[in-house]
């Protein structure tokens, strides 16, 4: 007969999401149908990253540890009492999460994971009863503290059809952005001007790409993942094309660089490509993706997407709730769960809420999508 029932790890933080620098609080909950003798009950809080990939016949790997704390929940204070009676039991625990640990991340060749391992040790002759629960750590990247985040971007490129005295025309491309830093839920408003003086037709394509580099002691591996592709826009021979304030949505994403992790580096690039009859112009633009938006852009409360209606896996919620702008450029305000429209305070006179097509146009990522285990992408290995 099974003496244990309903063995679980409960956490006080909603959906198992906690901010770095806060205290993780939880409890072990289980029921006994009769008295049982236990040697001890422990929980181990883990925080670690791991990278592993193959190049030819060699395997490269490396690990990094952020947290490993073992806490004894029973018996307490040196008590010799090792028996628990029948009924419901709850054993509390807590753990401070350091402020410099990286955000949880799942990639193709590596990850950053946090977990709680519970163990009920029944002695040497009986197998231990164990339970594991993952939780998510979110480390804020305040765009207000990123140098140059509010600077506009203006780039151009050109290509010539022909050469020397047989020049048949050229293509000129001009790209403009109001700034280079964004948070999930926003849209990158893009201006593109194309001057086509050739006799060929062409098209403009725009991609938002995530480049993730996984590092080990002996080498690195790069993974390219296309996050969003804008439908192509065609133009005729001799035509001038103007795209004004084209929205490129920013879906839920980990912050640029993945601060605090030495094994994983993330770069986001907006790529504008123009092709005309054998000619090609490429303009890459590096973007910074953070979690706390610019105060100069958001002057009031941010309306966030509603939470999932189902019981989601932990990693699917990591980027669904961007934080509110900080009130100080040196000390971010304490994180609080995002407010819902019915909890919003009255708007000040003359205030117009900021809206963005991003949160309304993009479905929250599934657990499989957030795992980043798609085989799509281009990979390269450099020693």
Q: Cα separation of 309 and 316, whole Å?
A: 13
If you ran DSSP here, which 8-state letter would residue 142 be given?
B
Domains and CATH numbers, the chain: 4-138 (2.60.40.640), 140-383 (2.60.40.640)
pLDDT in tens, 6-55: 889 999 999 999 999 999 999 999 998 888 888 889 999 999 999 999 99
pLDDT at residue 6, rounded to an integer: 86
Residue 238: DSSP 8-state: T
Q: Which of 328, 326, 337 is nearest to 291 (CA)?
A: 326
For residue 223 the two structure tokens come to 């993974």
- Residue spans of the chain under pLDDT 70: 1, 77-81, 162-167, 299-383
**What pLDDT is recorded for position 355?**
40
**DSSP states along 86-124:** SEEEEEEEEEEPPTTPPPPEE-SSEEEEEEEEEEEE--T
Kindly give the pairing relationship between strand 129-138 and strand 17-19.
parallel
Residue 185 DSSP symbol = T
In angstroms, the CA 158 to CA 292 distance is 36
Q: What is the pLDDT of residue 80?
A: 65
Question: By CB neighbour count within 10 A (0-12 exposed, 13-18 middle, 19+ buried), where does 11 fall?
Answer: middle
CA 313 to chain CA centroid, nearest Å? 15
Query: How does DSSP classify residue 374?
Result: -
Residues 240-252: pLDDT tens digits?
Answer: 999 999 999 999 9
* C-alpha to C-alpha distance for 136 and 13, rounded to whole angstroms: 10
pLDDT at 165: 61
pTM: 0.74
DSSP codes of every residue in 39-59: SEEEEEEEEEEEEEEEETTEE
160 three-class SS: strand
How many Cβ atoms are within 10 Å of 357's Cβ, its own excluded? 12
The pLDDT of residue 299: 64
The pLDDT of residue 341:
34
Strand partners, 136: 17
């Amino acid at each position: 007969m099974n003496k244990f029932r309903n063995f679980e790890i409960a956490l006080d933080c909603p959906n198992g999401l906690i901010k770095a620098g806060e205290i993780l609080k939880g409890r072990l909950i289980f029921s006994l149908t009769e008295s049982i003798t236990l040697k001890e009950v422990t929980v181990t809080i883990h925080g670690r990253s791991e990278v592993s990939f193959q190049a030819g016949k060699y395997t490269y790997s490396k690990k990094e540890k952020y947290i490993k704390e073992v806490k004894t929940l029973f018996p307490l204070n040196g008590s010799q009492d090792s028996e628990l009676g029948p009924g419901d039991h709850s054993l509390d625990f807590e753990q401070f999460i350091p402020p410099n640990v990286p955000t949880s991340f799942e990639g193709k060749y590596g990850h950053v994971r946090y977990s709680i391992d519970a163990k009920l040790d029944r002695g040497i002759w009986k197998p231990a009863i164990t339970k594991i629960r993952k939780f998510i750590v979110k480390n804020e990247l305040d765009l207000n503290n990123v140098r140059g985040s509010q600077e506009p971007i203006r780039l151009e490129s050109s290509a010539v059809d022909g050469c020397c005295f047989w020049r048949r025309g050229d293509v000129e491309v001009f790209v403009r952005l109001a700034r280079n830093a964004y948070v999930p839920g926003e849209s990158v408003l893009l201006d593109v001007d194309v001057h086509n003086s050739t006799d060929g037709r062409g098209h403009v394509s725009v991609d938002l790409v995530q480049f993730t580099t996984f590092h080990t002691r002996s080498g690195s591996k790069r993974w390219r993942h296309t996050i969003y592709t804008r439908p192509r826009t065609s133009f005729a021979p001799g035509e001038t094309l103007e795209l004004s304030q084209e929205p490129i949505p920013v879906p839920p994403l980990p912050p640029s660089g993945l601060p605090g992790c030495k094994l994983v580096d993330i770069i986001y690039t907006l790529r504008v490509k123009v092709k005309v009859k054998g000619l090609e112009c490429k303009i890459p633009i590096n973007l910074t993706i953070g979690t706390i938006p610019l105060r100069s852009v958001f002057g009031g409360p941010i309306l966030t997407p509603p939470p999932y209606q189902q019981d989601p896996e932990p990693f699917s919620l990591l980027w669904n709730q961007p934080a509110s702008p900080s009130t100080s450029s040196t000390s971010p305000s304490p994180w609080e769960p995002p407010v819902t429209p019915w909890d919003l305070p009255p708007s000040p006179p003359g205030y117009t809420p900021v809206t963005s097509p991003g949160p309304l146009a993009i479905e929250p990522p599934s657990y499989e999508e957030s795992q980043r285990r798609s085989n799509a992408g281009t990979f390269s290995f450099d020693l």
